[in-house]
Amino acid sequence: MTDGAKGIACALLAPLAWATAVILFKRSDRASPASLNLFKNSFALVLLSVTLVTLGSGLPRDRSLWDWSRLAVSGLLGLAIADTLLFAALARIDAARLAAVDTLYSPIVVALSIVFLGETPTASFLVGAAAVVAGIAIATVRRGFPAAHRQVWAGTLFGIGAIAGTAIGVVIAKPVLERSDLIEVTWTRMCFGLIGQTAWIAATGRLDEARQAFRPSPLWRTLVPAAFVGAFLSLLLWLGAFKWASASVAAVLTQLATVYVLILARVVLGETLRPAQVVGTLLAAGGALWIVVSRG
């Protein structure tokens, strides 16, 4: 199988794995966001370590300090900060609404490439960005602004922060990822993310809270599968897409998670989807795809 074919396969499977994990994590939201994320990352690190040893992969001795720094920042942003924000969002909004927010991912990746590569925004980009913003507004805004709705807005902002952190993290890591072993880079990012997250939890005196998800309980029925699919399988497939496929192809295909989450939220969780949520999500997803595809 060629690298391009491997990249496309990973890009098609990654969003399905992640969408499944989101639904499972939503069912596990009795634990705090910090606890869920610490459990997820710890579980994944064990699996990645076993995989690394089994395959006989090791850490590169010739990697520059700059590349190590890129992976460290990428892990802290994408795994410690962004994922904690994601769980905070899931605790406040339903999975369908989060699917609408997730459509920001592709535009942010493209915007970062414009900033760092010195590209000039095109008319197509502006049209797509407007569609994304309008779609999210349609899916999230309701008449009035009661107290419960303030929680929706808070969850939406947490979700936007999570998507931004994820996008920035992968852009930072991509140059190193392209010339490194997939398993090793995934393991390294996870180590940095877990160290940073644990240090922050300890510094803020929340270790007892963070241990909540580690105590054996019925919560594990959904949390363990969610951690496996979302923090191990999905992460490998997602990084594999960006390693072997072009950034545009990876961004377009992994954006399918938006559609998958919307469908699974209705089928598995029984969430009621308002027509505005469906229209807004489709409009935002269409805008995200238009931005990336229109870049040629």
What mean pLDDT, rounded, does the chain reach? 84
Is the per-residue pLDDT at 165 higher than 90?
yes
Any domain includes 295? no
Share of the chain above pLDDT 90, in %: 33
- Which residues, other chains included, contact 157 with Cβ-Cβ below 8 Å and sequence gap of 6+? none
Any domain includes 132? no
Higher-confidence position of 121 and 250: 250
- Residue 237's pLDDT band, with cuts at 50, 70 and 90, is very high
CA 236, CA 252: separation in Å to the nearest integer?
Answer: 17
Any domain includes 196? yes
Are 292 and 106 in contact by the 8 Å Cβ rule? The answer is: yes
User: What pLDDT sits at residue 225?
Assistant: 94
Are 19 and 264 in contact by the 8 Å Cβ rule? The answer is: yes
User: What pLDDT sits at residue 145?
Assistant: 46
User: What pLDDT sits at residue 141?
Assistant: 62
Any domain includes 205? yes
Domain count, the chain: 1
Q: How far apart, in Å, are the Cα atoms of 139 and each of 23, 155, 247, 273?
A: 19, 13, 27, 10
Report the candidate in 287, 165, 187 with the shortest Cα–Cα distance to residue 239: 187
pLDDT tens digits for range 61-116? 899 999 999 999 999 999 999 988 988 898 888 777 787 787 788 778 777 777 76
Any domain includes 115? yes
pLDDT tens digits for range 112-152? 777 765 656 678 777 877 887 788 777 766 555 455 577 88
Q: What is the 3-state secondary structure (H, E, C) of the chain?
A: CCHHHHHHHHHHHHHHHHHHHHHHHHCCCCCCHHHHHHHHHHHHHHHHHHHHHHHCCCCCCCCCHHHHHHHHHHHHHHHHHHHHHHHHHHCCCCHHHHHHHHHHHHHHHHHHHHHHHCCCCCHHHHHHHHHHHHHHHHHHCCCCCCHHHHHHHHHHHHHHHHHHHHHHHHHHHHHHHHCCCHHHHHHHHHHHHHHHHHHHHHHCCCHHHHHHHHCCCCCHHHHHHHHHHHHHHHHHHHHHHHHHCCHHHHHHHHCCHHHHHHHHHHHCCCCCCCHHHHHHHHHHHHHHHHHHHCCC
Any domain includes 288? no
pLDDT tens digits for range 179-192? 999 999 999 999 99
pLDDT tens digits for range 44-59? 999 999 999 998 878 8
Neighbours of 227 (CB within 10 A): 27
Average pLDDT over residues 264-286: 80
| Structural domain that includes position 87 | 3-119+155-272
Any domain includes 39? yes
pTM of the full structure: 0.81
Any domain includes 124? no
Is the per-residue pLDDT at 228 higher than 70?
yes
Burial of 55 (0-12, 13-18, 19+ CB in 10 A): exposed
CA 166, CA 105: separation in Å to the nearest integer?
Answer: 8
Is the per-residue pLDDT at 264 higher than 60?
yes
